[in-house]
Amino acid sequence: MFEGIAQGFQVAFSWDAILFVFLGVLIGTIIGMIPGLGPISAIAIMIPVTYGMDSTIALVMMAGVYYGSMYGGSTSSILLNAPGVAGTVAASFDGYPMSQQGKAGKALAISAIASFVGGTVSVILLMMFAPILASVAIIFGPPEYFALMLLGLTAIASLSEGSTIKALISAVLGFMIVTIGIDSQTGTSRFTFGSVNLLDGIDFLIIALGVFAIAEVCFLILNRKEKMSGLDNIGSLKLTKQDFNEMKGPMTRQSFLGFILGVLPGAGATISSFVAYISEKKLAKNPEEFGKGSIKGLTGPETANNAATSGAFVPLLSLGIPGSGTTAVMLGAFLVLGVQPGPLLMTENPTVFWGIIASMYIGNVFLLILNLPLIPYFVKVLKIPRPLLISLVIISSLIGVYAVSFSTFDLYLLVVFGILGYFMRIFAFPAAPFILAFILGGMMENALRQSLTISGGSWNIFLTSPLAMSLILLTALAVIIPAWRDRVKRKKEQQPPVSM
């Protein structure tokens, strides 16, 4: 492990890595500040930009965009009460009241320091636990892999916000789309409807840009709002000794809690930040201060959401299973760049595994530097006219898709999936299970076929393997428990009030 860490830092401290980590966190910070454009869209747009680049450097940059967006999202939450990223919504509960009290500078400084601590502690935990998981995961065969991917997909569908049924429908739709094209084992065409353009299947980039970026553009166009104005005066960034004393407890607790929640499929930065806010309010001696500019109320969520961002890399790097929509797109980026995340990544491609982890240390330092002295300049980004932002996203998406295949048919598909993504958002069908099913669908099908080939067509192979059986039982629980809770909740709502 120590040899791998040394190798990772050797990669991270190369001039190329330092430059691209800086670019990644800078882009992530700016994108995070702009409401309506999150890290998923940013990473999807950047995938075609990284073609031809060294895979390690490209992935280091995209990881920087991911955790950099959490820092940037706090700026618009605190200054404008308009979160740029879902994971920073809880930061506005106390951050925005502080800015209204003339303490915007202090709130931004608290956010930057808490984010730095949460990110750094979680990277240390990532360095410790990812190799352990990877070493355990080597015992996985095709049946275990199929059961694990089924669990990951079911968990993210069950834990998605809103209806579990809608999440599962999204996942099934993703499975259906990934089957389009020539079957790799039999050579027969599936669901091509006689079109030559569909023989190679549908590229991941079209799905990612359509469902996220183009759908977001449709939503922004059809839901126009007044142009938001930034703040010209943010006040002092100085923190007192008393402020630091108030921050110590939440930063310590939420660094660990955020990391643990980040590891769980479907939880991620959004849930971590809300859990952190609720738990800090329950532990506080003066809970009535929360929502009125509490330092603890801002420190907790900001620490947790950044810790969860690093935690999300544990299942991605060590098992090849993404736990959220953003890491699902990251998985797609890995595959596009010819890197297969999973148990063998640490041994077959240690420079990528350890390089990404080591680069997070440098990225967090860069983010602290960016988010303290450069805050007054970043505020100006919030004044970008919305029409210009929309145009940039559309042009980047079209160029990105066309540059991959030079096919106008793919541009039509991009529009189709953009419209599909828009309607999924309107009717509250989560996109994360859809994109995850599309990515995992091919691998799940191969694992299932390999398992049945090994067993001579018998499904008992999934019952005779203790690990596969355990994962299947967990999958069943992931479906049953949320459904049971929803049913109990509906029954309680339907019960008439007891009259005295």
Strand (E) or helix (H) holding 37: none
One-letter-per-residue 3-state SS of 175-234: HHHHCCEECCCCCCEECCCCCHHHCCCCCHHHHHHHHHHHHHHHHHHHCCCCCCCCCCCC
The answer to whether the beta carbons of residues 249 and 296 sit under 8 Å apart is: yes
* Phi-psi region at 189: left, alpha or beta (left = phi > 0; alpha = psi -120 to 50): beta
Query: For residues 81 and 78, what is the distance between their CA atoms, to the nearest angstrom?
Result: 6
Closest CA to 100 of 83, 82, 79: 79
Q: What is residue 415's predicted lDDT score, i.e. its pLDDT?
A: 93
The answer to whether the beta carbons of residues 425 and 431 sit under 8 Å apart is: yes
User: Per-residue pLDDT averaged across 437-458, rounded?
Assistant: 86
Q: Which two tokens stand for residue 145?
A: 């892999």
User: Per-residue pLDDT averaged across 420-424, rounded?
Assistant: 92
Query: For residues 294 and 136, what is the distance between their CA atoms, to the nearest angstrom?
Result: 43
Q: What is residue 186's predicted lDDT score, i.e. its pLDDT?
A: 79
User: Per-residue pLDDT averaged across 163-192, rounded?
Assistant: 86
Q: How confident is the model at residue 322 (pLDDT cuts 50, 70, 90)?
A: confident
DSSP class of residue 209 equals I
The CA dihedral of 463, 464, 466, 467, to the nearest 10 degrees, is: -70
CB within 8 Å of 252: residues ≥ 6 apart: none
| DSSP 3-state of 426 | helix
Q: Which two tokens stand for residue 473?
A: 């039982």
> Does the pLDDT value for residue 419 go beyond 90?
yes
Structure confidence by residue, pLDDT tens digits, 132-142: 766 665 677 78
Least reliable range by pLDDT among 64-78, 148-162, 301-315, 449-463: 148-162
Considering only residues 286 and 19, tell me which one the structure prediction assigns the higher pLDDT: 19
| DSSP 3-state of 146 | helix
The per-residue DSSP string of 227-277 comes to PP---S--------HHHHHHHHHHHHHHHHHHHHHHHSTTTHHHHHHHHHH
Strand (E) or helix (H) holding 210: none
Q: What is residue 230's predicted lDDT score, i.e. its pLDDT?
A: 44
> Tokens 């420079």, residue?
351
Q: What is the pTM of this model?
A: 0.66
Query: For residues 349 and 345, what is the distance between their CA atoms, to the nearest angstrom?
Result: 5
Residue 182 pairs with which residues in a beta bridge? 189
Burial of 499 (0-12, 13-18, 19+ CB in 10 A): exposed
Structure confidence by residue, pLDDT tens digits, 348-402: 888 888 888 888 888 888 888 877 777 667 656 556 677 876 787 788 788 878 8
Q: What is residue 380's predicted lDDT score, i.e. its pLDDT?
A: 61
Query: For residues 354 and 5, what is the distance between their CA atoms, to the nearest angstrom?
Result: 6
What residues does each domain of the chain span? 1-487
Q: What is the mean pLDDT of the chain?
A: 80
> Tokens 């930065």, residue?
269
Closest CA to 465 of 142, 149, 155: 142
> Tokens 């190679």, residue?
200
Q: What are phi and psi of 182, to 5 degrees?
A: -80, 130
Q: What is residue 226's predicted lDDT score, i.e. its pLDDT?
A: 46
In single-letter form, the type of residue at position 37 comes to: L
CB within 8 Å of 141: residues ≥ 6 apart: 451, 465
Query: For residues 251 and 263, what is the distance between their CA atoms, to the nearest angstrom?
Result: 18
For residue 425, what are the CA distances in angstroms to 162, 191, 216, 322, 430?
A: 12, 26, 9, 21, 7
The answer to whether the beta carbons of residues 415 and 214 sit under 8 Å apart is: yes
CB within 8 Å of 474: residues ≥ 6 apart: 151
Alpha helices by DSSP H, listed for 13-54, are: 15-33, 39-46
Residue 181 pairs with which residues in a beta bridge? 190
Percent of the residues in the chain that have a pLDDT greater than 70, as a whole number: 86
DSSP class of residue 496 equals P
Strand (E) or helix (H) holding 199: none
Q: What is residue 423's predicted lDDT score, i.e. its pLDDT?
A: 93
Query: For residues 127 and 92, what is the distance between their CA atoms, to the nearest angstrom?
Result: 31
> Does the pLDDT value for residue 153 go beyond 90?
no
Q: What is residue 233's predicted lDDT score, i.e. its pLDDT?
A: 57
For residue 78, what are the CA distances in angstroms to 99, 122, 391, 461?
A: 7, 24, 27, 54
The answer to whether the beta carbons of residues 411 and 401 sit under 8 Å apart is: yes
CB within 8 Å of 359: residues ≥ 6 apart: 8, 11, 12, 17, 21, 60, 63, 64
223 half-sphere exposure, CB direction, 13 A CA radius: 11
Q: What is residue 416's predicted lDDT score, i.e. its pLDDT?
A: 93
Least reliable range by pLDDT among 22-26, 309-313, 419-423, 462-466: 309-313
Query: For residues 447 and 300, what is the distance between their CA atoms, to the nearest angstrom?
Result: 41
Handedness of CA 331, 333, 334, 335 (dihedral sign): positive
| DSSP 3-state of 344 | coil
Largest CA distance in the chain: 74
Strand (E) or helix (H) holding 181: strand 181-182
Q: How confident is the model at residue 235 (pLDDT cuts 50, 70, 90)?
A: low
Structure confidence by residue, pLDDT tens digits, 90-115: 788 888 888 778 787 888 888 888 88
Q: What is residue 177's predicted lDDT score, i.e. its pLDDT?
A: 92
